[in-house]
Protein backbone atom coordinates (compact mmCIF):
# COMPACT_ATOMS: atom_id res chain seq x y z
CA UNK A 1 0.00 0.00 0.00
CA UNK A 2 2.76 2.37 0.83
CA UNK A 3 4.32 2.20 -2.63
CA UNK A 4 0.94 2.98 -4.21
CA UNK A 5 0.56 6.11 -2.10
CA UNK A 6 4.00 7.28 -3.22
CA UNK A 7 3.07 6.79 -6.87
CA UNK A 8 -0.20 8.68 -6.51
CA UNK A 9 1.38 11.68 -4.80
CA UNK A 10 3.64 12.83 -7.73
CA UNK A 11 0.69 12.71 -10.12
CA UNK A 12 -1.17 15.12 -7.87
CA UNK A 13 1.86 17.40 -7.77
CA UNK A 14 2.19 17.51 -11.57
CA UNK A 15 -1.52 18.12 -12.08
CA UNK A 16 -1.38 21.37 -10.11
CA UNK A 17 1.29 23.07 -12.32
CA UNK A 18 -0.53 21.95 -15.46
CA UNK A 19 -3.78 23.39 -14.13
CA UNK A 20 -2.02 26.63 -13.13
CA UNK A 21 -0.47 26.98 -16.60
CA UNK A 22 -3.84 26.43 -18.26
CA UNK A 23 -5.49 28.95 -15.95
CA UNK A 24 -2.71 31.45 -16.69
CA UNK A 25 -3.20 31.05 -20.44
CA UNK A 26 -6.93 31.62 -20.10
CA UNK A 27 -6.40 34.73 -18.00
CA UNK A 28 -3.86 36.07 -20.50
CA UNK A 29 -6.44 35.68 -23.27
CA UNK A 30 -8.92 37.64 -21.20
CA UNK A 31 -6.43 40.47 -20.72
CA UNK A 32 -5.65 40.73 -24.43
CA UNK A 33 -8.75 42.80 -25.21
CA UNK A 34 -10.30 40.00 -27.26
CA UNK A 35 -13.64 38.74 -26.13
CA UNK A 36 -13.95 35.03 -26.70
CA UNK A 37 -17.73 35.51 -26.57
CA UNK A 38 -17.79 37.79 -29.63
CA UNK A 39 -15.65 36.68 -32.57
CA UNK A 40 -15.28 39.03 -35.52
CA UNK A 41 -16.52 36.33 -37.89
CA UNK A 42 -20.25 36.20 -38.49
CA UNK A 43 -21.85 39.59 -37.90
CA UNK A 44 -22.00 42.31 -40.53
CA UNK A 45 -19.75 45.20 -39.43
CA UNK A 46 -20.93 48.66 -40.52
CA UNK A 47 -18.31 51.39 -40.97
CA UNK A 48 -18.84 54.30 -38.55
CA UNK A 49 -15.41 55.99 -38.52
CA UNK A 50 -12.34 56.26 -40.75
CA UNK A 51 -9.26 57.32 -38.80
CA UNK A 52 -10.51 60.12 -36.56
CA UNK A 53 -13.41 61.13 -38.84
CA UNK A 54 -16.96 59.85 -38.26
CA UNK A 55 -18.85 58.55 -41.29
CA UNK A 56 -22.12 60.28 -42.13
CA UNK A 57 -25.22 58.20 -41.36
CA UNK A 58 -26.56 56.26 -44.31
CA UNK A 59 -23.22 54.95 -45.52
CA UNK A 60 -23.51 51.47 -46.96
CA UNK A 61 -19.88 50.57 -46.17
CA UNK A 62 -19.76 47.27 -44.32
CA UNK A 63 -17.79 44.04 -43.94
CA UNK A 64 -18.45 40.45 -43.04
CA UNK A 65 -15.77 37.90 -42.15
CA UNK A 66 -16.38 34.22 -43.00
CA UNK A 67 -14.20 31.92 -40.91
CA UNK A 68 -14.87 28.75 -42.92
CA UNK A 69 -13.71 30.24 -46.23
CA UNK A 70 -11.20 32.78 -44.89
CA UNK A 71 -12.93 35.46 -46.95
CA UNK A 72 -14.06 38.97 -46.15
CA UNK A 73 -16.77 40.64 -48.24
CA UNK A 74 -19.07 43.60 -48.13
CA UNK A 75 -19.48 47.07 -49.56
CA UNK A 76 -17.16 50.03 -49.72
CA UNK A 77 -20.16 52.36 -49.88
CA UNK A 78 -20.62 52.26 -53.66
CA UNK A 79 -19.01 49.00 -54.80
CA UNK A 80 -18.97 45.39 -53.63
CA UNK A 81 -15.61 44.41 -52.14
CA UNK A 82 -14.09 41.05 -51.30
CA UNK A 83 -10.79 39.51 -50.34
CA UNK A 84 -9.14 37.10 -47.97
CA UNK A 85 -8.17 37.44 -44.33
CA UNK A 86 -6.15 35.59 -41.73
CA UNK A 87 -6.57 36.04 -38.00
CA UNK A 88 -4.50 34.73 -35.12
CA UNK A 89 -5.20 36.16 -31.68
CA UNK A 90 -5.48 39.90 -32.20
CA UNK A 91 -3.43 39.84 -35.41
CA UNK A 92 -5.56 40.45 -38.50
CA UNK A 93 -4.22 40.55 -42.05
CA UNK A 94 -6.57 41.40 -44.90
CA UNK A 95 -5.34 40.34 -48.33
CA UNK A 96 -5.62 42.27 -51.57
CA UNK A 97 -9.20 43.47 -51.98
CA UNK A 98 -11.16 43.14 -55.22
CA UNK A 99 -13.90 45.62 -56.04
CA UNK A 100 -16.57 46.20 -58.63
CA UNK A 101 -16.02 49.42 -60.62
CA UNK A 102 -19.27 51.34 -60.40
CA UNK A 103 -18.99 55.11 -60.17
CA UNK A 104 -20.11 56.80 -56.96
CA UNK A 105 -22.58 59.60 -57.64
CA UNK A 106 -21.58 61.27 -54.37
CA UNK A 107 -17.88 62.33 -54.43
CA UNK A 108 -17.65 62.11 -50.62
CA UNK A 109 -18.81 58.48 -50.71
CA UNK A 110 -16.25 57.73 -53.41
CA UNK A 111 -13.45 59.26 -51.33
CA UNK A 112 -14.61 57.38 -48.22
CA UNK A 113 -14.67 54.13 -50.17
CA UNK A 114 -11.08 54.61 -51.38
CA UNK A 115 -9.96 55.47 -47.84
CA UNK A 116 -11.85 52.47 -46.41
CA UNK A 117 -10.16 50.05 -48.82
CA UNK A 118 -6.76 51.60 -47.99
CA UNK A 119 -7.54 51.19 -44.27
CA UNK A 120 -8.39 47.52 -44.81
CA UNK A 121 -5.10 46.97 -46.64
CA UNK A 122 -3.14 48.59 -43.79
CA UNK A 123 -4.83 46.56 -41.03
CA UNK A 124 -2.34 44.65 -38.88
CA UNK A 125 -4.50 43.86 -35.85
CA UNK A 126 -7.84 44.56 -34.27
CA UNK A 127 -9.50 45.07 -30.94
CA UNK A 128 -13.06 44.79 -29.78
CA UNK A 129 -13.64 48.30 -28.44
CA UNK A 130 -16.81 47.35 -26.57
CA UNK A 131 -19.88 45.25 -27.34
CA UNK A 132 -20.45 45.30 -31.08
CA UNK A 133 -17.51 47.67 -31.80
CA UNK A 134 -14.57 46.52 -33.91
CA UNK A 135 -11.46 48.71 -34.23
CA UNK A 136 -9.09 47.92 -37.10
CA UNK A 137 -5.53 48.93 -36.20
CA UNK A 138 -2.45 49.58 -38.33
CA UNK A 139 1.07 48.31 -37.52
CA UNK A 140 1.61 51.24 -35.12
CA UNK A 141 -1.60 50.45 -33.22
CA UNK A 142 -3.54 53.45 -34.57
CA UNK A 143 -7.23 52.99 -35.34
CA UNK A 144 -7.71 53.14 -39.12
CA UNK A 145 -11.41 52.23 -39.05
CA UNK A 146 -14.12 51.67 -36.48
CA UNK A 147 -17.09 49.42 -37.24
CA UNK A 148 -20.29 48.49 -35.40
CA UNK A 149 -22.14 45.21 -35.66
CA UNK A 150 -25.91 44.93 -36.02
CA UNK A 151 -28.07 47.96 -35.35
CA UNK A 152 -25.65 49.51 -32.82
Query: To the nearest whole percent, how much of the chain has pLDDT over 70?
Result: 74
Q: Domains in the chain, ordered, with CATH?
A: 43-148 (2.40.128.270)
For residue range 43-84, what is the model confidence (pLDDT) as tens digits? 999 999 999 999 988 789 999 999 999 999 999 999 999 999
The answer for 9, left when phi > 0, alpha when psi is -120 to 50, beta otherwise, is alpha
Question: Tens digits of per-residue pLDDT, 14-31?
Answer: 444 444 444 344 333 444
Question: Going by C-beta distance under 8 Å and a sequence separation of 6 or more, which residues neighbour residue 141?
Answer: 125
Residue 2's pLDDT band, with cuts at 50, 70 and 90, is low
Amino acid sequence: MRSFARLARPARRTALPVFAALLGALLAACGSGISLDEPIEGPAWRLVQLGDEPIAPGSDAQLQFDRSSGRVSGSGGCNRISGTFTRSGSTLKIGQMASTRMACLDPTRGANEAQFIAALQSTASYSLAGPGRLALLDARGRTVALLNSGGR
